[in-house]
Homo-oligomer: A and B are copies of this chain.
Amino acid sequence: MITLNDTHQADLTSWVDSANVTGNGFPIQNLPFASFRRRGSGEAFRPGVGIGNQIVDLSRLYDLNLFTDKAQQALEACQGIQLNGLMALGQPYWSALRLALSQALRVGSAHEEAIRPLLVAQDEAEFITPSRIGDYTDFYISVHHATAVGKQFRPDNPLLPNYKWVPIGYHGRASSIAVSGQAFPRPVGQTKPKNEGDAPDFGPCKRLDYELELGIFVGEGNEQGQRIEIEQADKHIFGFCILNDWSARDLQAWEYVPLGPFLAKNFASTISPWIVTQEALEPFRCAFAHPADDPQPLPYLSSQANAEGGAYDIQLQVQLTTQQSRDSGQPAFTLADSNFKEAYWTAAQLITHHTVNGCNLQPGDLLGSGTLSGPDAAQAGSLLELTDAGKKPITLPWGESRSFLEDGDEIIMKAVCKKEGYPDISFGSVSGSVLKANFKTA
């Protein structure tokens, strides 16, 4: 855990005016990271930091030599395409860079004239994944999601016996992760035959879904064979993004025994371009409230700091637009609101559990939270839950209805931290779209 410091003062303002607009989400207290370039420019992608509606080009900032010591060394590590180098340096460097950026971007900074020419408007930029993601692991940390999905298979016994002991996770596909704007053809595959013993059906997925998740970017890694203790886990977390873990429910139902989801998940995953750092989220920590009648985590997953502040109050939202809604100028329809603080396991527990067997994490690796459904049925993070596995379609204000996603549908996810007397800290948003399947019928 990082002590609240000079960069967290609620009344700091920036000479980048747009950062000071109430509710803009990228105030000087945020300073999220991305990899960007001017759209269509053919320039190299490079690390940048968001402030208001602008991006500070960290590659050019390094050349100015305004910063010193760890902050300048952190900028030196930003000379590549993505943020893996900075992530590998560790917390003291991330904090030094954050402090130097906060000071340089404040009203009254002596560096305003030097830095102003380095700003690129966010709406003129395009993005790639902020790190080169070596391995992607997806967890399952919402007990509300696990219970709701479990009920569809086992109404009387929805939660499996390991759930409240093991932060359940599995490995996902890194190659198919892209940033907001990803559009992908509806996946094709085998689905369960109607009659046992028949040949399976084969064709475009009929039950395509989204999953509302947060992603956790690993900073400093660990050596193979060496675990990360729960007290040290926070030091290995660089920051968080929004993650849409698209899921083909009918493919999944047929393929997933006995080794888990595969083609049902690996065709696409979409993340927000921005990583909000753990340090920016410090003011939004909250207690990790294990219900009193639930077992306490095993000692390797327990610490006082984790119990008192291991969770984060991050508000989440999923919205839908369709071809028809966009053609008729309708606003996006909000499918659900949820909150990261409702999760059963904390980010620190995921890091510790992932490494307890000696598995090595590397800078830039991505951990997904799993679908972040809240306790209320309306707070569900997937259509599987909201429509009760397709049995209760949702009626949309413009007259269409949805059980699962149709071609042309766009899912938009947002995340923001809000607190009385403190500027909003936004993750931006992530959108992704479903295209027609590449499939010729016979």
Contact = CB atoms under 8 A, between A and B. Distances in A.
Interface in A149-204: 160-162, 165-166, 168-176, 178, 184-185, 187-190, 192, 196-197, 199-200, 202
A202 B298 contact: yes
Nearest to A225: B185
Interface in A200-237: 200, 202, 205, 224-227
Interface in A286-305: 295, 298-300
A259 to B, nearest CB: 4
A405 interface: no
A227 B357 contact: no
Nearest to A442: B299
B202 A357 contact: no
Contact of A190 (B135, B166, B202): B166
A359 B438 contact: no
Contacts of A357: 187-189, 205, 248, 251, 263, 266-267
Q: Which of A196, A260, A362 has the most CB of B within 10 A?
A: A260
Given A227-B438, A263-B354, 16 more contacts: A134-B175, A135-B175, A160-B258, A162-B190, A162-B192, A162-B200, A165-B199, A166-B200, A170-B170, A170-B259, A175-B365, A185-B358, A199-B298, A225-B435, A259-B261, A266-B357
Interface of A: 134-135, 137-138, 140, 160-162, 165-166, 168-176, 178, 184-185, 187-190, 192, 196-197, 199-200, 202, 205, 224-227, 248, 251, 254-263, 266-268, 295, 298-300, 353-354, 356-362, 365, 435, 438
